[in-house]
Amino acid sequence: MHKSAKDKHFIKQPWYEGGPKALKKFVSENLRYPVEALENSIEGTVFVKYDIDHQGNVVDAKVITGLGYGCDEEALRLTKMLKFKVEKPRGLRVLYHKSIQIHFRLQEVKQQAETARIQYNFAPSPKKESEPEQKPSGGYIITIHTQ
């Protein structure tokens, strides 16, 4: 008779469905670069430690190393949106501790803005000779951002 091997880990760690690539994709798709950080050309990495409950929800998050200019708040917002898969650890309610690095890079924001911006220029219609002289208006510039 051959005994089956026991699982080496008593408590399984939570995982993001799709793995690290899916997690990175989620962060890049949902990251909104703060306006204040854009205006001041702030780049860097925010380190966040967070807790995951027994249902896979992020229940607490704390910035360990931040950048300021709204980047810390955006990193916390993104972290709290995460949802993990958790195996039931033998009836126990376990609180898991993890950390994540969220990168703020201006180059990526500029590339997204270049591909997503459509600009329309409207000029005033040419005046007719019967119309009285009016001050020229500068026209309108409407910028549409798509995401």
Q: Report residue 64's pLDDT band, with 50, 70 and 90 as the boundaries.
A: very high
Q: Which pTM value belongs to this model?
A: 0.66
Q: Which domains does the chain have, with CATH numbers?
A: 19-117 (3.30.2420.10)
Backbone angles phi, psi at 57, to 5 degrees: -90, 145
Contacts of 22 (CB under 8 A, 6+ apart): 16
Highest mean pLDDT among 3-17, 67-81, 117-131: 67-81
Supply the mean pLDDT for the chain: 79
More confident residue, 38 or 145: 38
User: Using an 8 Å Cβ cutoff, are 52 and 84 in contact?
Assistant: yes
